[in-house]
Amino acid sequence: MGPLRRLAGSVPEVFGLRLNGSRSFLTEAAEVIVLALGLYLVITFAIQTVHVIGLSMYPSLNDNDYLVANKLDYRLHPPQRGDIIIMRDPFDSSKDFIKRVIAMPGEELLIKDGHVYINGHLLNEPYLRSDEPWNNNGNWPPPGSVDAGKPRVIPPNQYFVMGDNRNASSDSRVFGPVARDRIEARAWLRIWPLPKMGTVDQVKPTLETSSSLPVAA
């Protein structure tokens, strides 16, 4: 009876250890699942990584830069002038473009001789290269259109976007204003190359206060 008594007494202890171990395992597993779910939600709904290909946003962004883009911003408020945005390619929805918002819905826009006018006011753009004037693809509305040389109103829920490298950018001067639902995220942080790590849209355009061009009637 002695050996049986000892064996019977040891069973709860063995089971107790197993039970405690199960609780620990389940807790850790739950934490891992919650963490994975949290990361999935963040990556899916909050941020996205962006690989910049090409020089259309030079000098603000360079070829092979890597960025983090904020996808939550535009769930809370509309894009703002000067924002660097991630948008779906107008010609291939499986690809993305990266451009800068220049004109907002309802604004009158004229681009003439390398200058941008919004509601008759000159737009100062300090992020552009001062040593490289525009040499092509410049005026908008485009030459030959019925309102060439006159301001054109940006339609509701649409945005006029351009690359900072005006001589090497396919943008709204080519494909027209971009619908709001094609804008996916705001470029936020450059993470590569490391020496240039930091926020990417600190420099914003400004409108001159005095009227520089007559506003279309």
| 216 part of a folded domain | no
Kindly state whether residues 41 and 111 are assigned to the same domain: no
Kindly state whether residues 194 and 150 are assigned to the same domain: yes
Percent of the chain whose pLDDT exceeds 90: 57
Give the per-residue pLDDT at 213: 67
pLDDT in tens, 130-170: 888 777 557 888 888 888 889 999 999 999 999 999 999 99
Q: Which of 56, 60, 169, 172 is catalytic?
A: 56
| 139 part of a folded domain | yes
36's enclosing H/E stretch is helix 2-41
Cβ–Cβ under 8 Å, residues 2 and 10: no
Kindly state whether residues 76 and 14 are assigned to the same domain: no
| 217 part of a folded domain | no
56 among known catalytic residues: yes
| 213 part of a folded domain | no
Average pLDDT over residues 15-36: 63
Give the per-residue pLDDT at 3: 46
CA distances in angstroms from 186 to 8, 131, 145, 152, 169, listed in the order given = 67, 28, 32, 26, 19
Kindly state whether residues 31 and 132 are assigned to the same domain: no
Kindly state whether residues 79 and 37 are assigned to the same domain: no
Cα(49)–Cα(168) distance, rounded to whole angstroms?
A: 24
- pLDDT of residue 216 exceeding 50, the answer is no
Kindly state whether residues 112 and 199 are assigned to the same domain: yes
Which of 5-9, 31-35, 146-150, 193-197 has maximum average pLDDT? 193-197
For the chain, the first-to-last Cα distance in angstroms comes to: 108
Cα(49)–Cα(60) distance, rounded to whole angstroms?
A: 17
Q: Residue 127 sits in which domain range?
A: 52-207
Kindly state whether residues 62 and 129 are assigned to the same domain: yes
Q: Which of 60, 71, 99, 172 is catalytic?
A: 99
172 among known catalytic residues: no
Kindly state whether residues 5 and 76 are assigned to the same domain: no
| 115 part of a folded domain | yes
Domain boundary among 10, 26, 47: 47
- pLDDT of residue 43 exceeding 80, the answer is no
Kindly state whether residues 94 and 139 are assigned to the same domain: yes
pLDDT in tens, 168-177: 999 999 999 9
Kindly state whether residues 5 and 99 are assigned to the same domain: no
Average pLDDT of the residues of the chain = 84
Sign of CA dihedral 82, 206, 111, 114: negative
pLDDT in tens, 81-140: 999 999 999 888 888 999 999 999 999 999 988 899 999 999 999 999 888 877 755 788
The residue ranking higher by pLDDT, 63 or 36, is: 63
Q: Report the CATH number at residue 85.
A: 2.10.109.10
Which pTM was predicted?
0.78
| 164 part of a folded domain | yes
Give the per-residue pLDDT at 61: 97
Kindly state whether residues 164 and 182 are assigned to the same domain: yes
Kindly state whether residues 201 and 173 are assigned to the same domain: yes
Domain boundary among 26, 47, 68: 47
Give the per-residue pLDDT at 46: 76
Q: How many domains, in total, are found in the chain?
A: 2
Give the per-residue pLDDT at 44: 60
